[in-house]
Structure 1
Amino acid sequence: MNTEIALKNNNTHRATPDKEAIALLPVFERLGLDRITLVSTGAQAGKAYDQLVAARAWGFDTESKPTFKVGEQSDGPHILQLSTAERAWVFQLHEPECRAVAAELLALGGGIAKAGFGLGDDRKRIIQKLGVEPQGILELNNVFHQRGYRKDMGVKGAVAVLFNQRFMKSKKAATSNWANANLTESQLVYAANDAYAAIRVWEALGF
């Protein structure tokens, strides 16, 4: 079946694959550490900026330190992930110069799409912490709705539909402390690949 043709058929309601079906699929090839750049200083952020603005779209996501107490407010995001189809950059937002470049990137217009899943909360936190309104945000779940999928589509479902593959996500990494100054390798891989998968989905949707 030509998945792209199926996705463009707006008159057909299509089923989102369930967890059991996805579990049987071959694994989606993720970015390794050799294609992930940690950005924690102003100088590193400047280099990342120069490379990112050459692309016409980025996969986009953020991570925040989890909150566990009732009523506890997050001061995230602590991490911003931006990715092209070749490389991902993981920005740590505790350093002022790095945070300023991240804000500048998110505020860029010029037709650069920032594509991801479940971006509503990310947008609110970015406005609160970075003081900018992200431009060019593309919620990929909405695209799937427009193309005939009734249920909400996250990154796992999207990768299954478009690539017939299983996207791996570590629960341990997801709930780890993203405010740590020293991120682990598993945190870097987790964060970078959320953004990487989003840009791959964006490309496969034919934008």
Structure 2
Amino acid sequence: MNTRHATPDKDAIALLPPFERLGLDRITLVCTGAQARQAQDQLARASAWGFDTESKPTFKVGETSEGPHILQLSTPERAWVFQLHDPDCRSVAAELLAQSGMVKAGFGLGDDRKRIVHKLGIEPQGILELNTVFHQRGYRKDMGVKGAVAVLFNQRFMKSKKAATSNWANARLSEAQLVYAANDAYAAIRVWQALEL
């Protein structure tokens, strides 16, 4: 199939109605080993997860990131935001990512993979770069979450620049950070679902 599809530009996307994001009532913050085990039990019921990570931004030349500081996993119903400070929580997060036979779908995951290998000491399994799927289906340009949501749902995915560049290593995450992080993973699982159908 050699059809080439166009991706809507920024101006076209800006005119679309907003994508309905997860609210705080459907987002679980996971900080301890016990909370991580609970999340693991609930995630085990799904056949695929939306996946992303966040790392504290680096601003100085030569400064290396200690990330990821956050791991986000989502089902079509809810999302879990794992803070990776606690060793027990980090260990469960590593187990989840190392689990084979489970699709973990997201966008721009090359950097995430390298950081996960470095920080968690595991090779993540079942990672699906959604941009690759769009390329295979004839989209020329690289596809991020905003473009994918516009193409598949005819909606505008909103991302806060302020949240994106905030300090993800903070012990206490703000509500804006939780909503931002969770919805990156949530949009990815919704896109995966739509592509599967």
Tell me how far apart the structure 2 counterparts of residues 145 and 66 of structure 1 sit (CA, whole Å).
29
Correspondent of 2:163 among 149, 161, 173: 173
Partner of 2:180: 190
How far does residue 42 in structure 1 lie from its aligned partner after superposition?
0.6
Look up the equivalent residue of 2:27 and give its one-letter code. I
Matched, 1:29 2:30: no
Partner of 1:51: 42
Deviations 1:65-95 (A, max 9, x none): 0000000000000000000000000000010
Look up the equivalent residue of 2:165 and give its one-letter code. T
Tell me how far apart the structure 1 counterparts of residues 58 and 102 of structure 2 sit (CA, whole Å).
32
Tell me how far apart the structure 2 counterparts of residues 57 and 92 of structure 1 sit (CA, whole Å).
21
Superposed, 1:46-85 pairs within 5 Å as 46-85=37-76
Matched, 1:108 2:99: yes
Aligned length in residues? 197
Superposed, 1:142-157 pairs within 5 Å as 142-157=132-147
Partner of 1:98: 89
How far does residue 59 in structure 1 lie from its aligned partner after superposition?
0.2
Which ranges of structure 2 fall in alignment gaps of 5 or more residues? Answer: none
Matched, 1:132 2:116: no
Look up the equivalent residue of 1:87 and give its one-letter code. R
Moved over 6 A (4+): none
Tell me how far apart the structure 1 counterparts of residues 7 and 85 of structure 2 sit (CA, whole Å).
38
| TM-score where L is the length of structure 1 | 0.94
Partner of 1:15: 6
SS across alignment from 1:181 = coil
Look up the equivalent residue of 1:18 and give its one-letter code. D
Look up the equivalent residue of 2:158 and give its one-letter code. M
